[in-house]
């Protein structure tokens, strides 16, 4: 047996030169191609509801997605009432039970999805193309004619209560909630992201019905249909399903002023092995002249996996596993945020490196190859991220929510590729003023707070201990 293994090893070794032959180098990477939005059609029903049709792709699938401007932003003080309503919508509609709805969706090759976000409640289903008209009808029933059965409310609230308990045990949830409350204030809808258990338990079926009746309506709705479909049949289905929907209220225009920094908000988690960080600055609005330069700058600083902050505190220093930065956009609002979970005893050191990378972006033009690389990455990622009908529908919905022009998707790649190092440096100077920072820290404060107070960037910044919710 041993002799056989030796012979086999020698045979494999002898074969190695043949397997390791020299292959020609791969062809050079070409310049990124602009993304071209396919021909779309947008029209408005008599009741004010907007509809966008997007013929896209080759697979016989159709995404039907309704976005209603009835998210957490219109809840008032009843935090998560939009989430509760969204869950209740799936419990039956137009005489069909929740099981009937699920069976109908499965019969079309899809699954009904309903969820609430800050701005919208979304109802979506991805089906085989021949079922597109039926999918439109199903979405219409759920949005307009939900049963909202009182007998299911206790179970739905119990599910949400469990989700809330899990969320409140996570430092990321505490940090995000504290950041929102700090930036927007506790009395602003954007500043109220988490209810108390008692608040959630107190919601009644009348609250749910009142929210649906008062916040849903055609004027707040935009239906996106993307993929392969029979346009005439789909249009007929849209008119039949949604033509009689009451107009309802206009979309809410909500101002979102940011509370000025600098400040450091602290949440204690005694003996926590990691510190959760949230660093935030005001950002430029989507579609403004400064928008695309700030996106490119963010990707190089902390947004991309190959970003400077990631290379520094993850790859070189080993302080954290997955740092990230991003610009979050809303109607009339934009906020840049850096987040990371770092080892407790290097919290100060990690922030020192983050501040160093911000200053480097502000004072040194990025090398040509580095800046070109991040722009090429972003251009290619945009095409890849819009390669499916579902993804493209999401992009168009975001475009419309933010009030961007119809050709924004076509102009995005050329605009990204045009951002030069000088523009990135100027953006960093304007967008990351360290003397106006907002920093949220969740961790073992007896270990972390002395590290923070030793940082020169925080020497004159007020510290405040808070709790969430």
With a threshold of 0.95, does the pTM exceed it? no
Q: DSSP assignment of 296-313, as one string?
A: HHHIIIIISTTSHHIIII
Q: Is the confidence at residue 202, as pLDDT, over 70? A: yes
Q: Is the confidence at residue 114, as pLDDT, over 80? A: yes
- Give pLDDT, residue 34: 80
Average pLDDT, the chain: 94
**Cα-flanking dihedrals φ and ψ of residue 356, to 5°?**
-60, -45
Yes or no: say if 90 and 101 are a contact pair by the CB < 8 Å rule.
Answer: yes
Averaged over 425-439, what is the pLDDT?
A: 98
Pairwise CA distance, residues 327 & 323, whole Å: 14
Band of residue 28 on the pLDDT scale cut at 50, 70, 90 = low
- Residues of the chain with pLDDT > 90: what percent? 91
- Give pLDDT, residue 24: 67
- Give pLDDT, residue 29: 60
- Give pLDDT, residue 25: 67
Q: Is the confidence at residue 352, as pLDDT, over 60? A: yes
Q: Is the confidence at residue 11, as pLDDT, over 60? A: no
32-41, 53-62, 343-352: the lowest-pLDDT one? 32-41
Size of the chain in residues: 469
- Give pLDDT, residue 22: 60
- Give pLDDT, residue 225: 98
- Residues of the chain with pLDDT > 70: what percent? 94
Yes or no: say if 199 and 76 are a contact pair by the CB < 8 Å rule.
Answer: no
Pairwise CA distance, residues 53 & 400, whole Å: 14
Band of residue 13 on the pLDDT scale cut at 50, 70, 90 = very low
- Give pLDDT, residue 30: 66
- Distance from CA of residue 134 to its chain's centroid? 29
Averaged over 277-305, what is the pLDDT?
A: 98
- Give pLDDT, residue 14: 42
Q: Is the confidence at residue 20, as pLDDT, over 50? A: no
Averaged over 354-362, what is the pLDDT?
A: 98
- Give pLDDT, residue 469: 80
Band of residue 3 on the pLDDT scale cut at 50, 70, 90 = very low
276-292: buried (b, 16+ CB within 10 Å) or exposed (e) per residue?
Answer: bbbbbbbbbbbeeebbb
- Give pLDDT, residue 31: 75
Yes or no: say if 104 and 98 are a contact pair by the CB < 8 Å rule.
Answer: no
């Amino acid at each position: 047996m041993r002799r056989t293994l030796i012979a086999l090893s020698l045979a494999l070794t002898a074969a190695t030169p043949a397997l390791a032959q020299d292959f020609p180098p791969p062809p050079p990477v070409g310049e990124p191609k602009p993304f071209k939005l396919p021909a779309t059609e947008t029209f408005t029903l008599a009741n004010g509801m907007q509809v966008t049709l997007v013929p896209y792709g080759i697979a016989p699938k159709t995404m039907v997605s309704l976005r209603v401007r009835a998210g957490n932003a219109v809840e008032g003080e009843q935090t998560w009432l939009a989430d509760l309503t969204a869950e209740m919508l799936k419990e039956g509609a137009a005489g069909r039970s929740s099981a009937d709805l699920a069976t109908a969706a499965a019969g079309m090759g899809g699954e009904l999805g309903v969820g609430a976000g800050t701005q919208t409640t979304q109802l979506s289903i991805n089906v085989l193309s021949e079922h597109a008209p039926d999918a439109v009808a199903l979405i219409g029933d759920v949005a307009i004619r939900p049963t909202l059965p009182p007998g299911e409310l206790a179970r739905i609230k119990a599910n949400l209560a469990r989700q809330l308990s899990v969320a409140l045990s996570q430092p990321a949830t505490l940090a995000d909630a504290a950041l929102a409350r700090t930036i927007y204030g506790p009395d602003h809808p954007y500043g109220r992201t988490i209810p108390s258990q008692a608040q959630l338990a107190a919601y009644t079926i009348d609250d749910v019905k009142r929210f649906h009746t008062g916040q849903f309506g055609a004027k707040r709705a935009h239906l996106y249909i993307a993929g392969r479909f029979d346009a005439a049949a789909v249009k007929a289905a849209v008119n039949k399903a949604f033509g009689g929907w009451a107009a309802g209220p206009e979309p809410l225009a909500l101002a979102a002023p940011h509370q000025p920094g600098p400040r450091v908000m602290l949440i204690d988690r005694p003996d926590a092995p990691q510190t959760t960080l949230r660093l935030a600055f005001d950002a430029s609005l989507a579609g403004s002249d400064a928008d695309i330069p700030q996106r490119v700058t963010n990707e190089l600083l902390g947004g991309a996996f190959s970003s400077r902050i990631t290379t520094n505190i993850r790859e070189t220093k080993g302080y954290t596993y997955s740092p990230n930065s991003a610009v979050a956009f809303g109607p009339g609002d934009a906020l840049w945020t850096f987040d990371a979970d770092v080892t407790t005893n290097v919290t100060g050191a990690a922030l020192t490196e983050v501040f160093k990378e911000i200053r480097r972006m502000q004072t040194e033009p990025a090398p040509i190859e580095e800046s070109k690389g991040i722009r090429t990455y972003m251009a290619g990622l945009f095409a890849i991220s819009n390669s499916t009908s579902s993804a493209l529908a999401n992009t168009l919905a975001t475009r419309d929510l933010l009030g961007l022009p119809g050709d924004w998707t076509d102009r995005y790649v050329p605009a990204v590729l045009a951002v030069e190092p000088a523009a990135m440096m100027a953006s960093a100077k304007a967008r990351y003023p360290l003397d106006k920072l907002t920093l949220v820290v969740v961790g073992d404060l007896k270990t972390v707070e002395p590290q923070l107070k030793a940082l020169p960037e925080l020497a004159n910044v007020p510290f405040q201990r808070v709790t969430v919710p």
